[in-house]
Amino acid sequence: MFTFSPGLRVAHLTVALAVALCSTRLLAFEAQVRDQTGAPVEDAVVYAVPIDGQLPPTRPASAMIMQKNKMFMPLVTVVQKGASVDFPNHDDIAHDVYSFSDPQRFELKLYRGASQPIRFDKTGLEVIGCNIHDAMIAYLLVVDTPYFAKTGHDGIATLPDLPSGRYRVLAWNYRQHDLEARSEQTILMPAAVPVTFSLQLGPR
């Protein structure tokens, strides 16, 4: 998902609210993520897993993690299990993209331009790096739900179109000490109250 400008986001929210108001069944859900000092956390992943396990039959959306200016962009990406991710290289130098993470080991050996997309069929965290450039890092969280969002500057993530029902809402940020851990809360949609997560995070 791309990051929107604040203005755009407000507009987006308003639209979402309008839609939510119009449709009683599909509601947006807002979650706020803060760290232990109370500061809003950007790039935190919030996703909701229905408790009853009923997932819409839609195909998982694909994502793209590009390399530009010797950086992975975006830093944090969330995809639903089974989605494929593209790693286009928009630099004029080659990159060697790899990950040793458990869900999916892969290596895109030294390439420029487009890459082969990789399908992630396992849930979990993929820490992705470039062999040549030690500083390049990207996080890909593969979740078992299409309902996910990232927090912006304000630490707020909005999950759109959540059908009513009970959900487990989980939050994760890459600054966590234990990257496998998730903060969890249960909500019942439609919930009027936005949820706040307080995460114990390390330094940036």
Partner 1 sequence: MRVRKLRSKIALVFVLMILVVQAAVQIATADAFSSAARNQVNEQLAIGDRVFHNALQSEADRLAQSAAIAAADFGFREAVALHDDTTVHSALQNQRERLGADISMLVGLDGRVMASSPPVAAAGQPFPYPSIIGGQQHGVTSSTGVLDGRPYELVSVPVKTPLTVAWMVMGFAIDDVFARDMHGVAGLDISFLMRGADARWKVFASSLVPADRAALEAAAANVTPGHAELGINGYGSRIIWLGQGQEGQAPVAAVLQKSLADASAPFRQLRSTLLLLTLCGIAISIVGATLTARSVTRPLGELARFAERIGRGDYRASIEIHSNDETSELAAAFRKMRDDIAKREARITELAYLDHLTALPNRVSFNEWLQREIDGASRNNNPFAVILMDLDRFRDVNETLGHHVGDRLLHGVGKRLADSLADTLAHAPGSVARLGGDEFAILLPGSGIDAARRCADTLLKALEAPMLIEGQPVDVGASVGIVCFPVDGTDMHTLLRRADVAMYSAKQANTGIAIYDHGSERRDLERLSLMSELRRAIENNELLLYYQPKIHLADNSMAHLEALVRWRHPERGLVPPGEFIPFAEQTGFIRSISRWIAREAVAQCARWRMQGLDINVSINFSARDLSDRTAPDWIAALLREHDVEPRQLWIEITESALMDDPAHALTTLERLRALGIRMSIDDFGTGYSSLSYLKRMPVTELKIDRSFVIGMAHDTDDEFIVRSTIALGHNMGLLVAAEGVEDEATLEKLRVLGCDTAQGYYIGRPVAADEITIWLARWNEKLASIA
Does residue 98 bind partner 1 (CB under 8 A)? yes
Q: Three-state SS for 57? A: coil
Tokens 């060697």 found at: 96
Of residues 26 and 73, the one with the C-beta less far from partner 1: 73
Among 127, 144, 165, 185, contact with partner 1 (rule: CB under 8 A): 127
Does residue 74 bind partner 1 (CB under 8 A)? no
Minimum gap (Å) between residue 43 Cβ and partner 1: 16
Minimum gap (Å) between residue 170 Cβ and partner 1: 21
Of residues 30 and 126, the one with the C-beta less far from partner 1: 126
Nearest alpha-carbon partner for 83 in 111, 47, 110, 112: 47
Dihedrals phi, psi of 188, to nearest 5 degrees? -120, 120
Minimum gap (Å) between residue 74 Cβ and partner 1: 16
Among 28, 48, 65, 136, contact with partner 1 (rule: CB under 8 A): 136
Nearest alpha-carbon partner for 124 in 45, 63, 59: 45
Q: How far apart are CA 76 and CA 49, in angstroms?
A: 19
Q: One symbol per residue from 32 to 61: x for binding partner 1 (CB under 8 A), - otherwise; what is it? A: ------------------------------
Does residue 131 bind partner 1 (CB under 8 A)? yes
Q: What is the b/e burial string over 3-35, where b = at least 16 CB atoms within 10 angstroms of the residue's CB?
A: eeeeeebeeebeebeeebeeeeebbbbbbbbbb
Minimum gap (Å) between residue 96 Cβ and partner 1: 8
Contact 74, 197 (CB under 8 A): no
Does residue 76 bind partner 1 (CB under 8 A)? no
Q: Which helix (H) or strand (E) holds 99?
A: strand 95-99
Which positions lie near partner 1, rule CB under 8 A?
A: 98, 100, 105, 127-131, 134, 136-137
